[in-house]
């Protein structure tokens, strides 16, 4: 009770300090010259009337008129592109830091949705008409309309069906995303008859607000098409008490440099996601970013030579001459694609087709900073799975809960292929009707070696996600990966002096547990085991490769000061057993001298 009262008091104080809302955004309105900007500068107190029988006193000369005080409308509207106001500032309001409101901080209880009985509920969800009929059947006859799901205008699904950005549960490459068109269609507000209420809203992201300020006509055209622009800045610092002389935190990956700050991503997105409303439509997306992460992820033939080369880094697809310098800021276009939804093809929900470059569908963790849970990354994301692909995908919406995707790509992490044969990828994504459970399995197979069309690499990942608790405050994730590749590990020479190679295998498993204390604070832990059976995947960042088991435990939390500004402190422990494949006795950590490593990291992400 005390906590609730405190939150309410804070929210009321914030609301009072912010002043009125303009265009759906809180307008900061400090007093000007002792007057509120909402008060007319010419307003005066009524003058006292002279006493009866007395002459009216002579009036003094009126003082010079005070300068006009800008009104809220003048400060928050914009008529022409980039035209400055007479007050010397642009007439706009951009909410670069989005404040929390009481509604945002509310932990809404989970409300179960009606479902079918037996196995049918695994693949089919009751339609809205059936749900409404069932609700009305339970509520009619009481004289006041109780029992109707939306009779009081509450949110139709209890949680508004707000789309989550996590990789498991939604398609991470964007080829099945619901349209976020900024006009309130996704807010789930009921109008009393089971229909969605369409409530107009202002620009949702600071970049869209800025476009609206500079050129409202251009913003209106973008909004009508469903276009949006947004981005983020991500950076952090990782402390290693051992202070390794080579400055490498092996295994933690993106934050691999010890005891120095990193600018991980300055990321921009321009997109128009697909709609799945029963009509054919087209979507598109372009991602561009720069930062210290880019040299890891960049694809062969697309900015892969931007940071130069370092034959000891191990990141490249055409042997040591192609290995990139990692300790520089690079640039990348990780995604640029166009996709289309075609209804009533194969199933009544239709298919989606995507052509272009996109992030991989494999694994649990993702590469954009805000869409994953920790600053450091798992062994899986860096050593077991690819980063990105170029090609075509087709997604069939098989049932209400099951999607199947299959595609052909030119390979893994290549924009210009390093051989003459394609690879094949796909996934299955199942979501329960109430969105509490998800199962995602993805795969890719094909030749990935330089100038070799025969030695196939196959990678499979599978993850199950469950949410539970009265307010869905707990999230549990478990899954793993398995992979094998033909003739990739050097094994000496034959009698004629020809090089010999052995096959390689690698595999692992990860578990995650998260607890949402409030929308501001999320606690989390990750446990992982990764096995590089033949040392084929860990020969990177000046390491010889280790036929070993790798383990890591990470403990951290996410705290959001504002809705679009977060920090993520963490402590991580890594350890390994097993020899280096070159027989040197090297160990993975502390400049090849230790089998244990501890790191302390913190990062910050500002979304705009």
Structure confidence by residue, pLDDT tens digits, 412-435: 999 999 999 999 999 999 999 999
Q: Is 350 left (phi over 0), alpha (psi -120 to 50) or beta?
A: left
Tokens of residue 542, six digits: 């000046």
The set of residues, in sequence order, having a beta carbon less than 8 Å from that of 521 and lying 6+ positions away, is 557, 558, 559, 560
Is the pLDDT higher at 82 or at 272?
272
The DSSP symbol for 321 reads G
In the CATH scheme, what is the homologous superfamily, with its name and number, of domain 226-607?
Porin (2.40.160.10)
- C-beta separation of 101 from 465 below 8 A: no
Q: Where in the chain is the domain with CATH 2.40.160.10?
A: 226-607
- The mean pLDDT of 489-494, rounded to a whole number, is 83
Distances (CA, A) of 578 to 502, 582, 586, 593: 19, 12, 10, 13
SS3 581: coil
Q: State how far the Cα of 163 lies from the Cα of 275, in Å rounded to an integer.
A: 13
If pLDDT is split at 50, 70 and 90, which confidence band does 201 have?
low
Buried b (16+ CB within 10 A) or exposed e, 89-125: ebbbbbbeebbbeeeeeeeeebeebbeeeeeebbeeb
- C-beta separation of 339 from 353 below 8 A: yes
Q: State how far the Cα of 605 lies from the Cα of 595, in Å rounded to an integer.
A: 32
If pLDDT is split at 50, 70 and 90, which confidence band does 558 have?
very high
**pLDDT for residue 535 is more than 70:** yes
Tokens of residue 375, six digits: 């600053």
Buried b (16+ CB within 10 A) or exposed e, 409-424: bbbbbbbebbbeebbe
**pLDDT for residue 279 is more than 90:** yes
- The mean pLDDT of 571-578, rounded to a whole number, is 95
Residue 113: predicted pLDDT: 81
pLDDT tens-digit series, residues 76-114: 344 444 444 333 444 578 999 999 999 999 999 998 888
Residue 584: predicted pLDDT: 86
pLDDT tens-digit series, residues 1-57: 434 444 344 334 433 334 433 333 333 333 333 333 333 334 444 444 344 444 444
Is the pLDDT higher at 575 or at 318?
575
Is the pLDDT higher at 467 or at 72?
467
**pLDDT for residue 546 is more than 70:** yes
- Taking residue 157's Cβ as centre, other Cβ atoms within 10 Å add up to 15
- Residue 555, Cβ density class (10 Å: 0-12 exposed, 13-18 middle, ≥19 buried): middle
Residue 140: predicted pLDDT: 39
Residue 192: predicted pLDDT: 37
**φ and ψ at residue 174, rounded to 5 degrees:** 85, 5
Q: Is 383 left (phi over 0), alpha (psi -120 to 50) or beta?
A: alpha
């Amino acid at each position: 009770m005390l906590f609730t009262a405190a939150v309410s008091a804070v929210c009321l104080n914030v609301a009072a300090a912010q002043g009125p809302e303009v265009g759906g955004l809180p307008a900061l309105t400090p007093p000007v010259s002792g007057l509120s900007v909402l008060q007319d500068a010419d307003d005066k107190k009524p003058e006292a009337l002279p006493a009866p029988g007395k002459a009216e006193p002579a009036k003094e000369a009126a003082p010079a008129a005070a300068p006009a005080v800008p009104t809220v409308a003048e400060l928050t509207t914009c008529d022409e592109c980039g035209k400055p106001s007479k007050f010397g500032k642009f007439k706009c309001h951009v909410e670069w830091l989005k404040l929390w409101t009481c509604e945002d901080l509310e932990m809404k209880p989970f409300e179960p949705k009606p479902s079918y009985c037996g196995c049918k509920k695994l693949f089919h969800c009751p339609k809205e008409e059936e749900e409404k009929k069932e609700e009305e059947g339970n509520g009619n006859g009481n004289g006041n309309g109780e029992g109707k799901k939306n009779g009081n205008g509450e949110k139709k699904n209890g949680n508004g069906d707000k789309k989550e950005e996590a990789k498991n549960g939604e398609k991470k490459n964007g080829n099945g995303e619901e349209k976020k068109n900024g006009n309130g269609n996704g807010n789930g507000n009921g109008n009393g008859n089971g229909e969605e209420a369409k409530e107009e809203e202002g620009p949702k992201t600071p970049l869209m607000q800025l476009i609206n300020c500079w050129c409202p006509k251009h913003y209106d055209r973008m909004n009508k098409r469903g276009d949006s622009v947004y981005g983020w800045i991500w950076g952090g610092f990782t402390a290693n008490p051992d202070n390794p002389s080579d400055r490498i935190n092996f295994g933690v990956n993106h934050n691999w440099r010890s005891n120095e700050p990193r600018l991980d991503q300055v990321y921009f997105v321009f997109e128009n996601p697909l709609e799945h409303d029963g009509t054919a439509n087209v979507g598109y997306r372009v991602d561009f970013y720069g930062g210290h992460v880019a040299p890891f992820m960049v694809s062969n033939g697309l900015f892969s030579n931007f940071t130069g080369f370092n034959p000891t880094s191990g990141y490249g697809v055409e042997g040591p001459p192609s290995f990139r310098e990692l300790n520089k800021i690079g640039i990348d276009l990780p995604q640029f694609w166009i996709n289309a939804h075609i209804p009533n093809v194969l199933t009544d929900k239709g298919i989606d087709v995507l052509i272009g470059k996109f992030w991989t569908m494999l694994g649990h963790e993702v590469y954009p900073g805000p869409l994953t849970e920790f600053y450091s990354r798992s062994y899986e994301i860096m050593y077991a799975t690819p980063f990105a692909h170029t090609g075509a995908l087709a997604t069939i919406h098989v049932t209400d809960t099951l999607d199947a995707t299959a595609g052909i790509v030119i390979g893994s992490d290549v924009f210009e292929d390093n051989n003459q044969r394609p690879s094949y990828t796909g996934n299955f994504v199942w979501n329960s009707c109430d969105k509490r459970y998800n199962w995602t399995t993805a795969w890719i197979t094909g030749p990935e070696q330089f100038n070799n069309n025969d030695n196939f690499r196959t990678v499979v990942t599978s993850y199950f996600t469950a949410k539970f608790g009265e307010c869905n405050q707990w999230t549990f994730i478990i899954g793993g990966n398995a992979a094998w590749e033909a003739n990739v590990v050097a094994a000496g020479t034959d009698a004629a002096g020809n090089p010999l190679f052995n096959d390689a295998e690698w595999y692992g498993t990860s578990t995650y547990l998260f607890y949402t204390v409030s929308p501001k604070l999320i606690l989390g832990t990750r446990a992982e085991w990764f096995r590089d059976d033949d040392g084929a995947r860990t020969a990177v960042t000046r390491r010889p490769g280790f036929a070993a088991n790798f383990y890591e435990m990470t403990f951290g939390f996410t705290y959001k000061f504002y809705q679009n500004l977060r920090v993520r402190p963490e402590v991580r422990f890594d350890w390994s057993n097993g020899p280096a494949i070159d027989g040197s006795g090297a160990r993975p950590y502390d400049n090849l001298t230790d089998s244990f490593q501890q790191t302390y990291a913190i990062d910050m992400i500002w979304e705009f």
